[in-house]
Amino acid sequence: MEGVGRMEAEGNGRGYLSERGWKSWAFTLDHKRIGAMYLWTTTVFFLIGGVFALLLRLELLSPQARYFSNHTYNVFFTLHGAMMIFLFIIPAIPSGLGNFFIPLHIGARDVAFPRLNLASYWVFAAGFLVIIGSLVAPMDTGWTFYTPYSAKSAAAVTTLSLGIFLIGMSSILTGLNFIVTIHKLRAPGMTWHRLPLFIWGMYSTSIIQVIATPVVGVTFLLLAAERIFGVGFFDPTKGGDPVLFQHFFWFYSHPVVYVMILPAMGIVSEVIPVFSRKPIFGYKAIAYSSVAIALGGFLVWGHHMFTSGMSPLANAIFSLMTFFVAVPTAVKVFNWTATLYRGSITFEAPMLYALTFIFLFIVGGLTGPFLGALATNVQLHDTYFVVAHFHYTMMGGTVMGFLAGLHYWFPKMTGRMLNEKVARVAWALIFVGFNVTFFTMFILGVRGMPRRYAEYLPKFHTENVISTIGSAVLAAGILVMCWNFLQGLRKGAPAPANPWRALSLEWRAASPPETENFPEIPLVTEWPYGYGTPKG
């Protein structure tokens, strides 16, 4: 990668942020601005979703319903789940950080279809506006919207279905854009095996978005049709089959957990070698395991339905397949650990979050097989064990990966450095708060506390109080972190082009990058992980 050093610009200009005024954002075709708009939007929904979570924990301070009615509680956990899943976790890393960094990573000036990219954002915006509109009669079905209840509920299910359909469409168009961009716009010399691992993660993610999302789109159309026209696909009184809804729903919603986790794994694969000053261990294994996870993720949707009355053969097949998906995930964890081994590790905030990701994801991952195994699943199904498991993977995994990415790329995106001390305080609060909140739930689950109820038996009281205290600490950590971001944005020290001495292409652009990223398209001669070797 010699001969491009002269392109390194200093981070004193405002780069792609130079233009001002709302029109320069609303009509922008710049992938970086579109990425930034997604980041702002999704972060707002993350905070709103978090407030709902805190309200749930507040209610669970006492065994009896004290602050809210049961219906209100149902609405709150539905909104918490639906917002976090559809408006935060699914779009945040792919559409936010992905939009910003895919072209920078592969040495392109923009995505393949910039206008389609902008359209995707506005379809997304239309989607969340419709979803907000559906709050006139808020959902109480849980974020999975299972029929037959969702077909009969008095809530605005039809409106909400349309909103989710739009969000899905936006997700498909973004995935399509990324696939074509990665295939067609790589810089000269950027072969597949020189791609940053974040790109491998994003490519696999995009495949899932394109293949799986239409199925959930049509499912919500059918749900709407059931309510409007009386179509009976999911209605047993008309010969329909409610379990069919679950098949369609999970054909999308299981692979989509990999839409959430694969990009986060990609970020961790970027951050670990930079802060260990070592080449990534087992590049190809990590790269291909992303693809394997994406494809394998399509084979296991039935493991969400073990207690739905599905056929015994299907139960056995889906349970078996589930264990195979664990393998490529374990391959990744092994390779990250091997990368850390004897590295010159430093603990800046991005690295802290990346290590947290690995730690929490191991806990979340290893509790997966308990649920994937048919026998233990029947015992633990719909208990707090499940809640703990997916929060360890979703929040402990995806959100930590997202935060690692935000801290890692903050200097690149904004041209300013974060206050490292405050960032570490926030991290410590988040780490402690998270584990206190959710580890307790594993215990509650094994002891048999069912999820999704506002009331519980008095014997679960102590753990619930502990969990609520943990959630307050977690919230405090998030607030400190947000404050740090805002401070950094306003008066952080100017960031150099490459504060972490990283080798991937985005660090060759200025901080913040110019509108077309690179003065001239870089020529790539090496992979981006040559740390600690003479050339690195």
Partner 1 sequence: MSDPSGEHGDPAVAFESAKLGVWTFLATEVLLFGALFTAYTVFRIRYPEMFRVEHAKLDRVLGAANTVVLITSSLMVVLGVDAIKRGKARLLEAYFGATILLAGVFLCVKYAEYAAKFHHGIYPRTNLFFSIYFMLTGLHGIHVLLGMGVLSYVIILSRRGRLSASYYTPAEMSGLYWHFVDLVWIYLFPLLYLVG
Partner 2 sequence: MAHGTGHSRRAGIAVFVALLLLTAVTVLVSYVDLGLWNTVVALLIASVKASLVALFFMHLKGESRLVWGFALFPIVFLALILLGTLSDTMLR
If 0-12 CB within 10 Å is exposed, 13-18 middle and 19+ buried, where does residue 490 land?
Answer: exposed
**Least distance to partner 2, CB of residue 310, Å:** 5
By CB under 8 A, tell whether 115 contacts partner 1: no
Figure out which of the listed residues 217, 401, 405, 477 binds partner 1, where binding follows CB under 8 A.
217
**Least distance to partner 1, CB of residue 322, Å:** 21
By CB under 8 A, tell whether 58 contacts partner 1: no
Q: Which residues from 140-199 bind partner 2, rule CB under 8 A?
A: 183
CA–CA distance, 69 with 460 (Å, rounded to integer): 20
* Residue 298 partner contact from partner 1, partner 2, none using kind-dependent CB cut-offs of 5 to 8 Å: partner 2
Figure out which of the listed residues 133, 188, 309, 494 binds partner 1, where binding follows CB under 8 A.
188
Figure out which of the listed residues 7, 125, 218, 333 binds partner 1, where binding follows CB under 8 A.
218
The closest of 83, 34, 46, 101 to 263, measured between CA atoms, is 101
Q: Which residues from 236-275 bind partner 1, rule CB under 8 A?
A: 238-241, 244, 247-248, 251
Distant-in-sequence, close-in-space partners of 63: CB < 8 Å, separation ≥ 6: 455, 456, 457, 458, 460, 461, 464
Between residues 232 and 536, which has the closer beta carbon with respect to partner 1?
232
**Least distance to partner 2, CB of residue 202, Å:** 17
If 0-12 CB within 10 Å is exposed, 13-18 middle and 19+ buried, where does residue 23 land?
Answer: exposed
Instruction: Tell me, by CB under 8 A, how many residues bind partner 2.
Output: 21
Q: Which residues from 237-256 bind partner 2, rule CB under 8 A?
A: 241, 243-244, 247-248, 251
* Residue 109 partner contact from partner 1, partner 2, none using kind-dependent CB cut-offs of 5 to 8 Å: partner 1
**Least distance to partner 2, CB of residue 255, Å:** 10
CA–CA distance, 24 with 20 (Å, rounded to integer): 6
Beta bridge partners of 494: 416
**Least distance to partner 1, CB of residue 218, Å:** 4
Tokens of 219: 């499912």
Measure Cα distances from 6 to 1, 232, 499, 508 in Å.
Answer: 12, 65, 17, 9
The closest of 335, 393, 386, 401 to 364, measured between CA atoms, is 393
CA–CA distance, 456 with 461 (Å, rounded to integer): 8
Measure Cα distances from 365 to 161, 167, 320, 326, 399 in Å.
Answer: 31, 28, 16, 8, 15
Between residues 251 and 384, which has the closer beta carbon with respect to partner 1?
251
Between residues 68 and 113, which has the closer beta carbon with respect to partner 2?
113
**Least distance to partner 2, CB of residue 199, Å:** 17
Figure out which of the listed residues 211, 345, 466, 472 binds partner 2, where binding follows CB under 8 A.
211
By CB under 8 A, tell whether 309 contacts partner 2: yes
By CB under 8 A, tell whether 180 contacts partner 1: yes
By CB under 8 A, tell whether 179 contacts partner 1: yes
**Is residue 196 classed as helix, strand or coil in its secondary structure?**
coil
Specify the DSSP class assigned to residue 87.
I
Whether residue 434 contacts residue 360, with contact meaning beta carbons closer than 8 Å, is answered with yes
List for the chain the helix, strand, coil content (%; round to 5): 70, 0, 30
Between residues 102 and 182, which has the closer beta carbon with respect to partner 2?
182
Figure out which of the listed residues 9, 61, 317, 476 binds partner 2, where binding follows CB under 8 A.
317
Beta bridge partners of 517: 514
Tokens of 221: 């159309």
Interface map 91-110 toward partner 1 (x if CB under 8 A): ---------------xxxxx
Figure out which of the listed residues 167, 212, 256, 262 binds partner 1, where binding follows CB under 8 A.
212
Whether residue 16 contacts residue 513, with contact meaning beta carbons closer than 8 Å, is answered with yes
Q: What is the contact surface with partner 2 in residues (CB under 8 A)? A: 183, 211, 215, 241, 243-244, 247-248, 251, 298-299, 301-302, 305, 309-314, 317
Q: What is the contact surface with partner 1 in residues (CB under 8 A)? A: 106-110, 112-113, 116, 172, 176-177, 179-180, 183-192, 210-215, 217-219, 221-222, 225, 229-233, 238-241, 244, 247-248, 251, 521
